[in-house]
Amino acid sequence: MSQLLNVGSLRDFERFIRVLATRHAQQLDLTAIANAVGVGVRTAKAWLSVLEASNQIVLLEPWYGNVGKRIVKTPQALFR
């Protein structure tokens, strides 16, 4: 998987996965996760997209009757 994104630090990527796993099924706060790992938010977004593309996680979008709330609310990250 590291070849997909050319991950510079496998240790940081592993910490990212561990922190993401501790927040399983909670609202996804990439800023807090990136700060906990010590990487930038752009890096965290890129790593999240790699995990999603490789079917390691799925992003569960919130469901509300009000369409405007669906767009604003943050998804949950679930490991498969």
Would you list the domain boundaries of the chain? 2-79
Pairing of strands 76-79, 57-60: antiparallel
Residue 66: per-residue pLDDT: 73
Between helix 10-22 and helix 30-37 the angle, nearest 10°, is 130
Percent of the chain whose predicted confidence (pLDDT) is above 70: 82
CATH number 3.40.462.20 given to 2-79? no
Backbone dihedral angles phi then psi of residue 27, each to the nearest 5 degrees: -60, 135
Instruction: Give pLDDT, residue 14.
Output: 94
- Lowest mean pLDDT of 5-9, 17-21, 32-36, 57-61, name the range: 5-9
Q: Are 41 and 30 in contact (CB under 8 A)?
A: yes
Quick: pLDDT tens for 6-16: 667 889 999 99
pTM, to two decimals:
0.81
Cβ atoms within 10 Å of 19's Cβ, excluding its own: 16
Q: Residue 1 has what pLDDT?
A: 54
